[in-house]
C-alpha cells in the first residue's frame, strides 16, 4: 500500500474510472489510494470532490452583495456541500467598482473568519471569479449584466480589485471585442489569474488576439449570444475551434440543449470541457420572486431564473450533482467523463493545485461518496469530505 504520513481515516468505494473498488486512506492533506484485489460488493462510488468555478450565490445568499453576513455565506456553503462540491469560486458580476470591491472585501473577510474557526467553509472558497464588467454592451452577448456598469478593460482597476481581494482573484471573464483586451489579458496572466473569454460579440481576429495574449478559457459557451448569428462564422464557432481554450458549460437542460452540448463536446473533446452551475442566490430555494441587486427575478418551477422585466435568463438554479447527471443524459457521455468535467478538468482550468490528477495518491483529500442510478442518470450524494473533514453526510 502507498504510504502517506499521519493517515488516519479510511473509505471504500467504487472508482468511476475503473469500476474497481478502491480503498482510500486520508488525512487533512492527502490521499493514499489502492485498488482492492478481493473486493467486497460495494454499491457506492467515491470520486474526487466536485469543483465549481462559477457560483454567484446559493441558498438565498448573494455573493455580490457587500452586506451579505458571514453566517449567511457559511450557511450557503454548507448547502453547497450537500451537492458534492468541495471547492468553488464565488463569482461577482458587472457592477460599479465600489460594489465589486465591497463584495470582494466581504468575501475575503468571511473566508478569514471561517479559517480562524477551522471551518471547512474556508477551504471550500478556493478563489474568486470576477465575471465582468468588461463585457459586450450589446443586448444578447451582455446577458443579464447591467448595461450602465459595462466598461472597457482597465488594468489599473483590476489591480485595485486584487488589492481589495488580498490576491484571491483567480479568474476574470472579459470580452475580446475591446481594443484594450489583449493588454488587459497580459496583466491578468502576469498576476497568475486565468483570463476567460465571455459575454462577447468579438470577431475571429479579436478572439485570436485574446488567446495569443494568454486567455485559456471560455465562460459558459453557448450562452450570452445574439439570437441570430452567421451560420458558419461567429464567436461561438470560433471558440469551439480554438484548441487553446477550455470551455465551461451550464448543463441544466435550459441554457443549452442536448444537441449543442453533444456537438460542443465533440469539438472541444471532453478533456477541454468543464461543468459550471452559474448558480445565483435562488438556487436550492423555493420557486418565487427574488431580488438580485436591483433586479427582480423569478425562480420558476422548471428551474429557470429569469429577469421579470425582460424574461432573460439570469444565471441558474443548477446544482453540480444535477449537472453531472444531466451531462450523462443529454450528451450520452459516461459517468466518468461527466465527473472528469466537474473535477480534474475544472481543477486544471482554475489552476487548483493538488486536484488535477483525479483519485490518485498524493492528491488533496477532497472526496464525494455517492450512489448512481444509471437508469435515471441520477447522482445522490451520501458524504462530502473537504480537506479530510466530513463536511456533509446524508
User: What is the pLDDT at residue 29?
Assistant: 83
Q: How confident is the model at residue 37 (pLDDT cuts 50, 70, 90)?
A: low
State yes or no: pLDDT of 2 exceeds 90: no
Domain presence at residue 211: yes
CATH number for the domain harbouring residue 144? 3.20.20.140
Domain presence at residue 95: yes
Q: Could you read off the pLDDT of 201-240 as tens digits, one per residue?
A: 999 999 999 999 999 999 999 999 999 999 999 999 999 9
Q: What angle do CA 283, 289, 291 make, to 5 degrees?
A: 80
| Alpha-carbon gap, residue 4 to 264, rounded angstroms | 40
State yes or no: pLDDT of 27 exceeds 50: yes
CB 82, CB 303: distance < 8 Å: no
Domain presence at residue 58: yes
Alpha helix segments (H runs only) across the chain: 70-81, 97-116, 120-124, 155-164, 181-190, 204-213, 235-241, 258-268, 320-331, 335-342, 344-350
Under DSSP, the state recorded for 271 is: G
CB 215, CB 241: distance < 8 Å: no
Q: Could you read off the pLDDT of 254-274 as tens digits, one per residue?
A: 999 999 999 999 999 999 999
Cβ atoms within 10 Å of 50's Cβ, excluding its own: 30
Q: What is the pTM of this model?
A: 0.96
Nearest to 278 by CA among 227, 319, 338, 232: 319
pLDDT, average across residues 172-198: 98
SS in 3 state form for 30-86? EEEEEECCCCCCCCCEEEECEEEEEECEECCEECCCCCCCHHHHHHHHHHHHCCCEE
Residue 25 sits at φ, ψ, to 5 deg, of -105, 140
Domain presence at residue 61: yes
Under DSSP, the state recorded for 133 is: S
State yes or no: pLDDT of 335 exceeds 70: yes
With H, G, I as helix, E, B as strand and everything else as coil, classify residue 282: coil
How many domains in the chain?
Answer: 1
Mean pLDDT, the chain, integer: 95
Cβ-based neighbours of 309, under 8 Å, separated by 6 or more: 296
Q: Could you read off the pLDDT of 271-305 as tens digits, one per residue?
A: 999 999 999 999 999 999 998 877 899 999 999 99
Domain presence at residue 293: yes
Helix axes 70-81, 97-116, angle to 10 degrees: 70
With H, G, I as helix, E, B as strand and everything else as coil, classify residue 210: helix
State yes or no: pLDDT of 346 exceeds 60: yes
| Alpha-carbon gap, residue 387 to 145, rounded angstroms | 35
Residue 149, domain extent: 49-354
| Alpha-carbon gap, residue 178 to 175, rounded angstroms | 7
Residue 339 sits at φ, ψ, to 5 deg, of -65, -40
Domain presence at residue 256: yes
Domain presence at residue 362: no
Domain presence at residue 295: yes
| Alpha-carbon gap, residue 172 to 213, rounded angstroms | 14
Q: Could you read off the pLDDT of 133-167 as tens digits, one per residue?
A: 999 999 999 999 999 999 999 999 999 999 999 99
- Tell me which residue has cell 454567484: 56
Amino acid at each position: 500500500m502507498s504510504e502517506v504520513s499521519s493517515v488516519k481515516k479510511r473509505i471504500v468505494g467504487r472508482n468511476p474510472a475503473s469500476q474497481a473498488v478502491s480503498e482510500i486512506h486520508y488525512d487533512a492533506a492527502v490521499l493514499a489510494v489502492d485498488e482492492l484485489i478481493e473486493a467486497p460488493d460495494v454499491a457506492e462510488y467515491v470520486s474526487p470532490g466536485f469543483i465549481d468555478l462559477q457560483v454567484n450565490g446559493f441558498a438565498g445568499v448573494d455573493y455580490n452583495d457587500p452586506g451579505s453576513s458571514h453566517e449567511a455565506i457559511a450557511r450557503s456553503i454548507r448547502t453547497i456541500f450537500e451537492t458534492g462540491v468541495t471547492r468553488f469560486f464565488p463569482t461577482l458580476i458587472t457592477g460599479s467598482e465600489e460594489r465589486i470591491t465591497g463584495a470582494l472585501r466581504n468575501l475575503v473577510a468571511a473566508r478569514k473568519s471561517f479559517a480562524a474557526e477551522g471551518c471547512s467553509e474556508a477551504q471550500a472558497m478556493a478563489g474568486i471569479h470576477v465575471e465582468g464588467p468588461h463585457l459586450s454592451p450589446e443586448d444578447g452577448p451582455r446577458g443579464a449584466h447591467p448595461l450602465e456598469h459595462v466598461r472597457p478593460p482597465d488594468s489599473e482597476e483590476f489591480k485595485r480589485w486584487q488589492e481589495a481581494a488580498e490576491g484571491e482573484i483567480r479568474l476574470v471573464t472579459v470580452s475580446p471585442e475591446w481594443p484594450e483586451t489583449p493588454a488587459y489579458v497580459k496583466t491578468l496572466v502576469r498576476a497568475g489569474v486565468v483570463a476567460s473569454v465571455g459575454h462577447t460579440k468579438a470577431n475571429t481576429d479579436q478572439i485570436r488576439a485574446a488567446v495569443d495574449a494568454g486567455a485559456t478559457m471560455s465562460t459558459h459557451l453557448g450562452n450570452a449570444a445574439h439570437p441570430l448569428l452567421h451560420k458558419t462564422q461567429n464567436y461561438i464557432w470560433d471558440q469551439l475551434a480554438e484548441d487553446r481554450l477550455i470551455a465551461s458549460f451550464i448543463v441544466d437542460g435550459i441554457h443549452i440543449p442536448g444537441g449543442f452540448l453533444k456537438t460542443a463536446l465533440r469539438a472541444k473533446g471532453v478533456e477541454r470541457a468543464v461543468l459550471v452551475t452559474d448558480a445565483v442566490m435562488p438556487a436550492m430555494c423555493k420557486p418565487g420572486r427574488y431580488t438580485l441587486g436591483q433586479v427582480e427575478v423569478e425562480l420558476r418551477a422548471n428551474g429557470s431564473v429569469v429577469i421579470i422585466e425582460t424574461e432573460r435568463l439570469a444565471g441558474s438554479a443548477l446544482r453540480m450533482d444535477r449537472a453531472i447527471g444531466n451531462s450523462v443524459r443529454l450528451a450520452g457521455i459516461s459517468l466518468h467523463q461527466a465527473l472528469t468535467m466537474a473535477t480534474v478538468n475544472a481543477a486544471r482550468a482554475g489552476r487548483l493545485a493538488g486536484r488535477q490528477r483525479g483519485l490518485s495518491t498524493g492528491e488533496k483529500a477532497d472526496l464525494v461518496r455517492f450512489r448512481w442510478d444509471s437508469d435515471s442518470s441520477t447522482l445522490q450524494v451520501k458524504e462530502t469530505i473537504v480537506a479530510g473533514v466530513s463536511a456533509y453526510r446524508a
